[in-house]
Amino acid sequence: MNAPSALLDEAAGAGRDLNARSLRADARREQLRLLALLSPSLFLVFAIIIVPIGWLFWLSLFDEAGAFSASNYARFFEQASYIKTFITTFKVAFIVTGACVLLGYPLAYMLSQLPRRAASICLIFVILPFWTSVLVRTYAWLVILQRKGLINSWLIDLGVISQPLPLANNLSGVVIGMTHILLPFLVLPLYASMKTIDTDCLRAGMNLGAGPVATFRQIFFPLSLPGLASGVVIVFVLCLGFFVTPALMGGGKVIMWAMRMEQTTSLYSNWGAGAALGVVLLLVTLALLGLFQWLLGARAIGVWSSR
């Protein structure tokens, strides 16, 4: 009895090993198929993202004479105009992002509470600005906000003000124009996130005694944070590279990082310095995004631990 049992156990073990090897081989073949399917996309990402960024890093290490040098990075600490432009860029980005959150969250919440047909109609008006060029919309805001524009003319005619308000060719004009252009980029992902929130969770909270404010604060708002975070990241990153609207609405008084890069490369033909500007902006942006992701993760851990 012992010998046949041992033979049966040995045969079963050999069968399990054979099955395991067969499963591992199938898994490797499946991974190779997936890699083959992804290879065109990976090559495209490498060609249009990795290679240009690497070339940007390499170009920033050479001065105007073509010599290998770190002078392009040293000028950030030597010239106050670079630091001022850098601070202005992030100041505008934070203000515009905050304005988009204040305007976009109530709008997305309203859209999420409407019936599907009414929400679809309202979303058309959110998407409608995409059908018009950014340049055209910026010039439209210039017409509206300038000293003799529509807003100042109406306010003077109504007797509200006696002198035109400085709404254009300054920081206020830049913020207004960029907020209008970037607001849909926050509303759309936030609305999509809000629509996925299960209404049964809200009803359960209210059945347990939570009022409307407590239900929104403790259930709805935390569940909408992924969409809000996506919208904030999109708007913030787009703000850092904005060029047309600050150039026109700022009137030369608001110089952002993208405008400084354009001046450095086209006016002074210093491609190394322009590349260094891009590298610094990229590294600082990645650091801020990493900090933002860490803060979101820490907050999520805190919320769940408090529960």
Other C-beta atoms closer than 10 Å to the C-beta of 138 total 21
Contact 210, 226 (CB under 8 A): no
The residues facing 68 across adjacent strands are: 62
- pTM score, whole prediction: 0.83
Please give the pLDDT value at position 183: 95
The answer to whether residue 182 scores a pLDDT higher than 90 is yes
CA distances from 241 to 96, 118, 181 (A): 13, 35, 13
Please give the pLDDT value at position 193: 92
CATH of the domain at 159: 1.10.3720.10
CA distances from 89 to 93, 96, 171 (A): 6, 11, 11
Q: Which of 191, 180, 256, 261 is nearest to 227 (CA)?
A: 191
Please tell me the total count of domains within the chain.
Answer: 1
Domain annotation covers residue 13: no
Q: What span, in angstroms and rounded, lies between the C-alpha atoms of 173 and 246?
A: 8
pLDDT digits (tens, 9 = 90+) for 186-220: 999 999 999 998 888 888 888 888 888 888 888 89
Contact 191, 179 (CB under 8 A): no
Please give the pLDDT value at position 301: 53
Q: Which of 129, 130, 128, 108 is nearest to 119 (CA)?
A: 108
Q: What is the residue range of 168's domain?
A: 88-255
- Span 274-299, average pLDDT: 86
Q: In one letter, which amino acid is 286?
A: L
The answer to whether residue 108 scores a pLDDT higher than 90 is yes
Domain annotation covers residue 59: no
pLDDT digits (tens, 9 = 90+) for 17-60: 667 777 788 888 888 888 888 889 989 989 998 998 899 899 98
With tokens 């290679």, the residue in question is 51
pLDDT-derived band at 184, boundaries 50, 70, 90: very high
Q: Which of 230, 219, 258 is nearest to 90 (CA)?
A: 258
Q: What span, in angstroms and rounded, lies between the C-alpha atoms of 256 and 277?
A: 11
